[in-house]
Amino acid sequence: MSAQLPMLIVQMGRPPHDVSEVLGEQPDWFLAALAPANLDVLVVRPHMGEPLPQPGSFAGAVVTGSWHMVTDLHDWSERTAEWIRQLVAADVPLLGVCYGHQLMAHALGGLVGYHPRGRELGLQTIRLLQESINDPLLAHIPGEFPALLTHAQTVLVKPPGAVVLGASDHDENQILRYGPNAFSIQFHPEFTPAIMSVCIQRRRTILEQEGAGVERLLLNLAPTPDAHAILMKFATTAAQVSADFR
């Protein structure tokens, strides 16, 4: 029986203390979401100076969300962007989530910045586009599905050659594919309503100043099984492919 390489979670910075003391940090959320797959998982923290592993030492990688902004151009983030380019060139399975989605687009020649229409937050509807038909990660996902989001920056211009597979009413670049194994999503497939609730409530004052209906956002929260299924499909497919080649 072939041994499986571990799945890699690349943690892009730490949450604010008031979030982490209640919910833990990004890897905790991904580990919980991936638990049914029973995969070996490793975590690397480039923001703490940890080295990013070489292709061939892991089955695939998930680049997490962050409370930082891609346009801050932190050294650790730019180092991860260079690593992303190496992984895509080597055809290593790679999934970017929220900040990771934006960082992949930035690394591969796209433009990231603040969304001209402001923040996208809470439970929103993702709409698959014609280009998603027969995409291996989206084959069993309905044409419209709910997802949990929280972002101010976005992919303003997709990288050359990237294909847009999904959009929301707010954001036209919700799902991007860059190659056979490189894929990114603006929404959070690892989020639960409890995680989203904390993210909303800690920003209550700012959101109210922006005119958002905070109570409505909280009441609308619900599980997002289709978004979660995309994460599971990516991880289990990457693990199986790595096992088949060992």
Could you give the residue numbers annotated as active site? Answer: 98, 188, 190
Measured between alpha carbons, how far is 162 from 99 in angstroms, rounded to an integer? Answer: 17
